[in-house]
A and B are shown apart, each in its own frame.
Chain A
Amino acid sequence: MELNSNLFPAGVTYAEFRKHRITSSTMTMLDGNLVANDTTRSQGLNCRVFRDGVWGCAASPTLTSNNAERLGKIAKDNVISLAGFGKTKRVADVHSHVETHLPRKAPWSTGQKMDFLETLHAISEKKYPKLVSSTFVLMEELHEKEVVTTTGSRTSADMARGTIYLVQTVLNANGEPIRLADPISGRGSISDVSLTRAELEKRLDLLYKRVLDKTEAVPAHAGLVDCILGPDVTGILAHEAMGHPCEADLVEGGAVTAGLVGQQVASEMITMVDFAHSYNGKTLPVPVFVDDEGVEAKDVTMVDKGILKGFLHNRETAETMGQAPTGNARSYMFEDEPLIRMRNTLILPGEAKLEDMIADVEDGYLLLKTSNGQADTTTEFMFGISLGYEIKNGKLGSAIKDTTVSGTAIEMLKTVTAVSDDLSVEASGYCGKKQRMVVSMGGPALRSKINIGGA
């Protein structure tokens, strides 16, 4: 079916229809056994309407004009039933005509993916004698969306991500299992993100070295210490601790950032941007050219040389705050309503060399991998650290046991004293905010003071 303006229900301030198709697959090989071999296809139609300050929404899978009209009626009935609620009376009236379908390599067949998994398993069996378990996961997802709105937007776009997880488990001297994971992710399918055999072996060799390092790990000393955050940790800090509090719906909900625009929230070495689709002429892992409200996606500089500058918007928050929508309204499944979500959130590189940054630390830690992270609208954050090393007198020492770092981003980022000149971006995992969402995050290495939890 074709989405068109005749489908919109009458008597509403704003309406949109979204046709959304999702295809995903997961193959998991655990110690040579294929424990997951799954494909999921989902598709449907979503109608959302706005009237008198509230939204109505209805969704179901049938892609027909009759169903679209039915959903429009349900969405309108829903919005009418909320009479008496609602504050914002308008949504931003902008439109776009964007059609983007970036080229991708042909996706691998199941057989090709199976061969790839068996290769990974064979390499591990042959080269890494101390492994007690290895897991390899291949995940792909493709989202194809069309949106029409009463403001005149008519858009079509797709988004694809492939992820390879390498996971190794060994035993320490006490017989306790020690595990470490390394994700490889990017735009497209597995065929786009896959590495050559030599590159893969190099990556697996490094993972094996690091997981063995962890068998002799020492506990970190709890307290506020000098640390160098590797790009993965910088990325999650950018996303969780500063990115979420810059989402305008959370700002309206009382995030501490609401009163800090124009004020210093970080060292002047810090510039942080939520890029829509590309940086320095290169396409980022989660390119969003147009959002699910039919708004063309723009880059948003949240922090510029340490000063808080701007927020991420949808149509409603843009209207409320008197700013332009930024194209951050995104939905994960066809039945989901668009929410303000990040896209590719990066802290920009500086000028320092990583080796010089390490050399300048007398007693501290190099933090390389995170297991997960959470943050608050106060910018208070917590990240699990699954890989880190001691730094003693400017040199790397023993690995440290799994630990946690915490702090308040708007305080911690002011202590940054060096930013490396490189950049690493990754897009594995999901951001959670009612719905899950594919995002990318990253940055350079940062040197700062951070509260580490010991182990």
Chain B
Amino acid sequence: MNADLQAHAETAIRTMKAAGFDHAQAVAKTADFDELNVTNNDVNLFRTVNKPSLDLKGIVDGRKATQTIPLPEPDVLEEIVSSLFTTARQAPEDPANAISTNQVHDYVDGPLTADKSAMVQRLRELFDYRVKHTKTAQITEGILSHQRNQYVLANSSGSILRADLGCYESFFMAVGQKDGKSSSMGYSMGTSRDLEHPFSERFGTDTLLEHAQQQIETTRIRESFNGSILLSPMTVMDLVAYLQDQVGDGALLTNSSMYKDKVGEVIAAKDLSIFHTATAPGSAPHSTDGYVVEDFPLVEEGRLETLLPTNYASRKCDLSHKPNGGTFSVRPGGQNRDHLLSEIQRGALVGRLSMGRPAVNGDFSGVIKNSFTIAEGKIGPALSETMISGNVAQMLKDIDGISLETINFGGSVLPWIRIPHLVFS
């Protein structure tokens, strides 16, 4: 672990306590990354960044202020802490403000140095794959980076969390182009601890390129109808994110959660289980508010197991604190994806959902992008300008199929999910 970071964090806490804070927390951290950028099937930028910083959080008489500054700035630390103290004193008193107590954990994970030649090689392979297998698909943008994040979180209540994390992160955007026509943009992305496999075998990138080719020619639906959707793993992320929002601080603190009083109740189809994963490539089992996190179920066979308030929201709303790292996965189902598709009489295979933020009651409408028609169990032409509408909370209850197959995005592992009764227009 980086001794300098620990020294910075401890110096900051001492300085904050000396300034008069009742509770002090400091996170000294440094982010290093090497990043290859792709533009139009070619690498065009190699960027190297070193970014150290220091996050300060101070509480005095229940009044809180936070500040982030570049690191190192030892000569101005006292001045910054003094300003932070003045800022905190001007805040209203709030007994819910607190820091964690006696959380101690060290974690080292992933490749701590970049294998730059392997990064270049994997991109060359992807470009070759595109030319060989999906020539009319263009990788218009892409990023492959190695990231190393080191941090020491220390506070005046005995917590000290240390992490040194390395991972590779990738993002590719593709469109299909032929005879002056173009498909919609599609994406693939994920994190990993290694570069052992070609990108054509990871994160659904092969499907991205194949579908980009197939989506150059599109059709519009002729009439409104009720039908089923088979959500791809990328769009299942949107479904999980809605639930995370609903059981997290924002909705809980503003009294706009549909689920605040639903712990222990069935909120989704019995097939649906969503669980929190404490560790993932590039992320330690630590919450941002300074707690060690564990694996736990969020939804078990359709039943809501817990809310996800931070320490602040739990104290404010009188709820049980459930620290989490933000990574959730959906347990695979028992049916083959093709079987799920074969049972759809009318609907769509949805590659991307472009929609406004659902209303707080779950009502939504959105455009399905990178999507195909399904009729009598078979995939048909790609769709354009097709909207679906429904209610996300109801969609969770209506799920009638979850695939055995999944895509591992690094942190989240997600299957295909089938949902009936959506309005297409």
Residues in A lying within 8 Å of B, measured CB to CB:
30-44, 53-61, 74-75, 78-79, 81-82, 85-87, 110-111, 114, 118, 132-133, 135, 169, 174, 176-179, 222-223, 249-250, 252-256, 259, 335, 337, 370-372, 374, 376-378, 380, 382-386, 401-404, 406-408, 434, 451, 453-455
A453 touches B387 (CB 8 A): yes
B244 adjacent to chain A (CB < 8 Å): no
B184 cross-chain contacts in A, Cβ below 8 A: 376, 378, 380
Q: A169-B255, A404-B366 are in contact. Are A176 and B361 (CB under 8 A)?
A: yes
Q: A177-B360, A377-B185, A406-B387 are in contact. Are A114 and B90 (CB under 8 A)?
A: yes
Interchain CA distance A111-B358 in the complex, whole Å: 36
A58 touches B51 (CB 8 A): no
B46 touches A55 (CB 8 A): yes
B385 adjacent to chain A (CB < 8 Å): yes
Residues in B lying within 8 Å of A, measured CB to CB:
37, 39-40, 42-53, 64-71, 84, 86-88, 90-92, 94, 96, 116, 120, 138, 140-141, 143, 175, 177, 180, 182-185, 224, 253-256, 258, 312, 316, 354-361, 363-367, 369, 384-385, 387, 389, 423, 425
Of B46, B52, B258, B387, which is within 8 A of A57 by CB?
B46
Interchain CA distance A451-B367 in the complex, whole Å: 10
Pick the 10 closest A-B CB pairs, nearest first. Answer: A384-B356, A453-B365, A253-B140, A78-B46, A177-B256, A222-B425, A176-B361, A57-B47, A402-B359, A85-B43
A58 touches B48 (CB 8 A): yes
Q: A37-B87, A385-B356 are in contact. Are A56 and B69 (CB under 8 A)?
A: no
Q: A335-B51, A380-B384, A382-B356 are in contact. List 15 more A-B contacts (CB 8 A).
A: A37-B87, A39-B66, A57-B48, A86-B44, A135-B254, A169-B254, A222-B425, A252-B40, A337-B45, A371-B356, A380-B184, A401-B359, A406-B367, A407-B385, A408-B385
B48 touches A455 (CB 8 A): no
B385 touches A380 (CB 8 A): yes
Of B53, B67, B224, B369, which is within 8 A of A39 by CB?
B67
Interchain CA distance A454-B363 in the complex, whole Å: 10
Interchain CA distance A408-B91 in the complex, whole Å: 48
A35 touches B138 (CB 8 A): no
A30 cross-chain contacts in B, Cβ below 8 A: 253-254
B367 touches A41 (CB 8 A): no
Interchain CA distance A40-B68 in the complex, whole Å: 5
B256 cross-chain contacts in A, Cβ below 8 A: 133, 169, 177, 179
B49 touches A59 (CB 8 A): yes
Closest to A401 in B: B363
A179 cross-chain contacts in B, Cβ below 8 A: 254, 256, 360
A259 cross-chain contacts in B, Cβ below 8 A: 180
Interchain CA distance A407-B384 in the complex, whole Å: 9
B92 cross-chain contacts in A, Cβ below 8 A: 32-34, 114, 118
Interchain CA distance A31-B313 in the complex, whole Å: 13
Interchain CA distance A453-B52 in the complex, whole Å: 46
Q: A30-B254, A132-B255, A222-B423 are in contact. Are A382 and B355 (CB under 8 A)?
A: yes
A sample of 7 cross-chain residue pairs with beta-carbon separation below 8 angstroms, ordered by A number, consists of A57-B47, A81-B116, A87-B40, A177-B254, A177-B361, A404-B389, A453-B389
Of B47, B66, B175, which is within 8 A of A58 by CB?
B47
Q: How far apart are B53's CB and chain A's nearest CB, in angstroms?
A: 7
Chain B CB count within 10 A is highest, among A59, A81, A255, for A81
B354 touches A374 (CB 8 A): yes
Q: How far apart are A117's CB and chain B's nearest CB, in angstroms?
A: 9
Interchain CA distance A57-B143 in the complex, whole Å: 14
Q: How far apart are A285's CB and chain B's nearest CB, in angstroms?
A: 24
A169 cross-chain contacts in B, Cβ below 8 A: 254-256, 360
A61 touches B356 (CB 8 A): no
Q: How far apart are A320's CB and chain B's nearest CB, in angstroms?
A: 11
A177 cross-chain contacts in B, Cβ below 8 A: 254-256, 360-361
Closest to B123 in A: A85
Q: How far apart are B174's CB and chain A's nearest CB, in angstroms?
A: 10
B367 touches A382 (CB 8 A): yes
B91 touches A377 (CB 8 A): no
Of A74, A135, A382, which is within 8 A of B354 by CB?
A382
Interchain CA distance A297-B201 in the complex, whole Å: 44
Closest to B57 in A: A38
Q: A222-B224, A434-B143 are in contact. Are A335 and B367 (CB under 8 A)?
A: no
Closest to B43 in A: A85
Q: How far apart are A409's CB and chain B's nearest CB, in angstroms?
A: 12
Closest to A407 in B: B385
Interchain CA distance A37-B43 in the complex, whole Å: 41
B69 touches A41 (CB 8 A): yes
A386 touches B363 (CB 8 A): no
Of A57, A86, A455, which is within 8 A of B365 by CB?
A455
B389 touches A406 (CB 8 A): no
A55 cross-chain contacts in B, Cβ below 8 A: 44-46
Q: How far apart are A245's CB and chain B's nearest CB, in angstroms?
A: 10
Q: How far apart are A120's CB and chain B's nearest CB, in angstroms?
A: 13
Interchain CA distance A454-B365 in the complex, whole Å: 7
A253 touches B356 (CB 8 A): no
Closest to B177 in A: A254
Of A33, A61, A255, A402, which is within 8 A of B182 by CB?
A255
Of B44, B68, B91, which is within 8 A of A114 by CB?
B91
B140 touches A42 (CB 8 A): no
A35 touches B369 (CB 8 A): no
A253 touches B138 (CB 8 A): yes
A404 touches B91 (CB 8 A): no
Chain B CB count within 10 A is highest, among A37, A41, A252, for A37
Q: A110-B86, A254-B140 are in contact. Are A87 and B385 (CB under 8 A)?
A: no
B387 touches A222 (CB 8 A): yes
